[in-house]
Structure 1
Amino acid sequence: MAKKRIGLIGFLHESNTFISELTTYEHFRSDFLLEGDAFLERMSGTHHETAGFISRLEAAVDEIEIVPILFARAMPYGTICASAYEKITSRIIELLTAALPLDGLLLAPHGATVSQDYRDADGHWMSMVRNVVGSDVPLVATLDPHGNLSKKMAAACNALVAYRSNPHLDQFQVGVEAANLLIDTLRGDIQPTMAIATPAIAINIQKQESTVPPCLPLYQLADSQLAVEGVLSNSIMLGFPYADVAEMGSAFIVVTNNDLDLAERCATELADFLATHRDGFKAELEPMKTTLEQSAQLEGPICLLDMGDNTGGGSPADSTILLHACDKLGLHNMFVCIYDPAVVVQASESEIGDLLSVSVGGKTDNDHGEPWCGEVKLVGLYDGKFHEPQPRHGGATHCDQGATAVLRHESGITIMVTSRRQPPFSLKQLTTFDVDPADFHILIAKGVNAPIAAYEPVCQHLLRVNTAGSTTADLDQLDYQHRRRPMFPFEDSTER
């Protein structure tokens, strides 16, 4: 019997539409833009969902031929410029067409991708793929739960499966799950049948950690549904509030074995639970100063989660708001990582031990603080490459934040300056470059939930800080033009 040919495509970008800067083709080229065998070589052995695809398909080598097509990913940032989106999607279609015939496809979109021309960019390119292969070829896709699910995405696929943990530690396993669904479909063992529910409710990013309330009981309900005969998979889409699109908000996906009524009932049950408990998913924010004063009284190390400059949510990574606030309150035994290529260049022209007069951060725009200025000692220069062996948010194993300098002020403030934006998903970002977390009372991590997996083992406390910026947790500060109305918590709505 001829082997089944399974195509693999990944195109991931978390697009923050509240950032003025655009994501360009160069952003993808400098992160991941892989074709054919290079896709397999680079992603195999990582913790990413595409590695899960590959691992499961390789285990079925007697019946499956893997056809890697294209993998593109750029660090979360602004809307994708039209030319970059056109170039990538055109290449996907070109390579896909050349790879035909295929018996099935595994896709790895993000779910919160926005381009200048297509606000539902994931729905657009997934529909293009469906049009090329036709309606008879089964197509299974993974999603980041920080996506905004559209009907177009669902219509393009036989099944959608989202990561189940936040921080995202299960990406590999979800890739395996998606591959299993496709293999079982091709064998004729199942007939995936999917329903979605899209309540007009936005879950605040502050409330999206999956292992604690309010999300925990929602996930427990979802887990209980998996014990129901006929339910193959279910997913909770937490939503991404920093993409101003019509689909912004929470959603639920249920996949059954040829039972649409069951899928619809289960999806509705999850949506009803969220609607009933919706008040618990609103932000509970306190002034930044209050949180910092609290941190001064607590035993360290303390991780201060800088919600307004959440690099993994597309922010610039150069906010100085929290740095200035800590400095002003005398909280000097602290560490922060800031993106500032110009300062890295300045440091690289100096010698270790030199004193430098620097102006760090606050340069991308006017929304993330003024540059922090001071005389600092250059204590280290590095290439910025590090390896994370454990599953961490994002699924990466090999990371590159570009040329890196570590600077120390006489007060005790330590600043790691990078030439590439790098989310704080791994403690190896510190320890590889001779920074010991135990040396500090305060560690600033530019994120909300994603850094928890890395920082919780070494910190006595993790405190979310209500900072301003392009990923502010105060959603009333964002000027939405495209979201649904009415929508909770902005307006009173229980619409589904």
Structure 2
Amino acid sequence: MRIGYAGFQHESNSFAHVPASLDKWKEAGILYGDAIRAEYETSQATIAGYYQRLRDEPEVELVPLVFARLTPSGQMTHEATEFLFREILESISTNGPWDAIFLPLHGAAVSDLYRDADGELVRQVRNLVGPDVIIATSLDMHANVSEKIVKYSDVVTAYQTNPHIDPDKQAFMAADMVLRTYRGEIRPSMFMAAPPLSVNILSQGTSDEPMASILRLAETARAIPGILYVGVVEGYPYSDVEEMGMTFIAITDDNPDLAKAVANEVASLSWQLREELQGGAVAIDVALKEASEATAFPIVLFDVGDNIGAGTPGDSTFILHAARKLGISQITQALCDPEIVVLCQELGVGSHISASVGGKADSMHGEPFDIEAKVIALVDGRYEEPKASHGGFRFYDDGNSALVKTEDGFTLLLTTLPAMSSSLEQFRSVGIDPVLQKIMVVKGVHSPRPAYEPIAAKMIWLATPGASSADLSTFVYKHRRIPMYPFEEETVWAPSETNEERLT
């Protein structure tokens, strides 16, 4: 049995100003062949799950083809989309024949060429390989799952944890279903329910209510005889597409009625809980005052509006400005500013810098923050996370980075690339122990939790402005469904009998 895998992963924020250009994809690294296996086989990412299931199956040849992953940002450019599609499709075409294809995607990729970039790739792969090749598509839990993805795949799975600590487990299940399908043991039948429901990013933690109750129902349904898979997909509210919103996938062994019933049952519970699935954050000043008065540390402040995992630039300064105005320092955080990193490199460790940092990528994330500071360390920004982390990734690269300490008490890790706060090794690599800090600012909502929750005395989510603001009313949507909850509170929904409910 020959299985090839190829794909790209990008979460596209329609409201972010920095596009996912081809240059950025190439800078991040487009991997081919064995380089993919070397990067991901020992991780906990999606691709690792394929190997975990199939490495001991002697009749299976698992062939790495092309894979690219880019930190979330604005929408993909026409040029980048064309290039990635061409590389993926040509690799599948020239290295066949295939019994199955694995597509490790995200599900929230939006491009200037295709608004449903993931679905369009699945469609083109299906047209290329024909109806008899098994296609398994692996998605992020923040996918906006389209009809194309479901229609042209035999199996669709998605992460079921947020923070995402199970990508390999979900891919393992996908690979298992593909193998059993090939052997004639099962015949997957899939149904997707898609109520017009957007979930606030603050309510998407899967260990928190009400999402935890929804996941428990899905887990209970997996025990029903004939059920192969049940997936809850939270959706990604910052992609302005028709498919934006929650979806619920059920896969059965040749029982379409059961798949429909189970998907609709889980969707119905979510609809009943729709008001509870909206959330709110704490005002910046209120959170800072609480942190400054704390007696146990570290206090971890989540910069919701500059959630790098949702496509923001990572250079928001709203919290820094507010802290200085309130006379609060002893704050440690990362901040993307490649220009000042270069300056620090030129001056060297131990030198003094007078500069304005952050607030430069666009007009949404604050004004530059003036500092008088000492350069403490210079590093290449590469580090390795040995434990389970958001997305299951092992190797990180923030680009060249500089640690500076300001005269008024701020500790800033300046990075060349937007640096997700997913690993404590980010700061340990420059000699900073997060456990010993008073106030840590992390740029994210859920992705920092696996790293920071075990050490935090308290975590507070801040209502910061930005391209990932928790207040969705600040964004102007052009393509989402209307009506849709919570935008139109009077929205009604009833379970659909078909997979095309969004298109009717």
Equivalence for 1:494: 492
Q: Is the 8 A contact 1:323 1:336 kept in 2?
A: no
Equivalence for 2:379: 382
Equivalence for 2:59: 63
Equivalence for 1:158: 154
Q: Alpha-carbon deviation of 1:402?
A: 1.0
Equivalence for 1:437: 434
3-state secondary structure, aligned to 2:229: strand
3-state secondary structure, aligned to 1:79: coil
Q: Alpha-carbon deviation of 1:437?
A: 1.1
Task: Write the mapping of 1:440-451 to structure 2, written as runs, cut at 5 A.
Answer: 440-451=437-448
Match of 1:167 among 143, 163, 168: 163
**Aligned equivalents of 2:373 and 2:17: distance in 1?**
31
Tell me which moved more, 464-473 or 291-300: 291-300
Equivalence for 2:91: 95
Equivalence for 1:17: 14
Match of 1:470 among 467, 470, 474: 467
Q: Is the 8 A contact 1:148 1:240 kept in 2?
A: yes
3-state secondary structure, aligned to 1:280: coil
Does residue 225 in structure 1 map to residue 221 in structure 2? yes
**Aligned equivalents of 2:422 and 2:151: distance in 1?**
33
3-state secondary structure, aligned to 2:54: helix
Task: Write the mapping of 1:99-248 to structure 2, written as runs, cut at 5 A.
Answer: 99-248=95-244
Deviation string, structure 1 residues 345-389 (Cα, Å, up to 9, x no partner): 110111322211011000001110000002101111111110001
Equivalence for 1:353: 350
Q: Is the 8 A contact 1:201 1:494 kept in 2?
A: no
Does residue 287 in structure 1 map to residue 283 in structure 2? yes
3-state secondary structure, aligned to 2:85: helix
Q: Which amino acid aligns with 1:493?
A: T
Runs of 4+ in 1 over 3 A off after TM superposition: none
**Aligned equivalents of 1:183 and 1:150: distance in 2?**
25
Equivalence for 1:5: 2
Q: Is the 8 A contact 2:297 2:436 kept in 1?
A: no
**Aligned equivalents of 1:207 and 1:46: distance in 2?**
28
**Aligned equivalents of 1:383 and 1:36: distance in 2?**
26
Equivalence for 2:497: none
Deviation string, structure 1 residues 274-331 (Cα, Å, up to 9, x no partner): 1111110112234222222222233321110000000011000011111111222222
Where do 5+ consecutive residues of structure 1 fail to align? Answer: none
Does residue 392 in structure 1 map to residue 362 in structure 2? no
**Aligned equivalents of 2:27 and 2:55: distance in 1?**
28
Q: Which amino acid aligns with 1:77?
A: S
3-state secondary structure, aligned to 2:481: coil
Q: Which amino acid aligns with 2:99?
A: D
**Matched-pair identity in %:** 37
3-state secondary structure, aligned to 1:464: strand
Q: Which amino acid aligns with 1:49?
A: T
**Aligned equivalents of 1:329 and 1:459: distance in 2?**
23
Match of 2:322 among 325, 331, 339: 325
Q: Which amino acid aligns with 1:477?
A: T
Tell me which moved more, 461-470 or 386-395: 386-395
TM-score normalised according to structure 1 size: 0.97
Deviation string, structure 1 residues 384-411 (Cα, Å, up to 9, x no partner): 1100011211221111111110010122
Task: Write the mapping of 1:249-288 to structure 2, written as runs, cut at 5 A.
Answer: 249-288=245-284
3-state secondary structure, aligned to 1:193: strand
Equivalence for 1:75: 71
Deviation string, structure 1 residues 75-119 (Cα, Å, up to 9, x no partner): 111111001100110111111111221001111110000110110
**Aligned equivalents of 2:211 and 2:227: distance in 1?**
21
Q: Which amino acid aligns with 1:139?
A: I
Q: Which amino acid aligns with 2:276?
A: G
Q: Alpha-carbon deviation of 1:172?
A: 1.3
Tell me which moved more, 470-479 or 18-27: 18-27
Q: Which amino acid aligns with 1:207?
A: S
3-state secondary structure, aligned to 2:25: helix
**Aligned equivalents of 2:324 and 2:454: distance in 1?**
26
Q: Is the 8 A contact 2:280 2:463 kept in 1?
A: no
Q: Alpha-carbon deviation of 1:494?
A: 2.9
3-state secondary structure, aligned to 2:354: strand
Equivalence for 2:44: 47
Q: Which amino acid aligns with 1:373?
A: D
3-state secondary structure, aligned to 1:279: coil
Q: Is the 8 A contact 1:21 1:78 kept in 2?
A: yes
**Aligned equivalents of 1:402 and 1:119: distance in 2?**
30
Q: Alpha-carbon deviation of 1:58?
A: 1.4
**CA RMSD for the aligned pairs?**
1.1
Q: Is the 8 A contact 1:10 1:50 kept in 2?
A: no
Q: Is the 8 A contact 2:282 2:461 kept in 1?
A: no
Q: Is the 8 A contact 1:200 1:250 kept in 2?
A: yes
Q: Which amino acid aligns with 1:58?
A: R
Q: Is the 8 A contact 1:275 1:494 kept in 2?
A: no
**Aligned equivalents of 1:40 and 1:376: distance in 2?**
42
**Aligned equivalents of 2:103 and 2:388: distance in 1?**
21
Equivalence for 1:84: 80
**Aligned equivalents of 1:182 and 1:74: distance in 2?**
27
Aligned length: 492
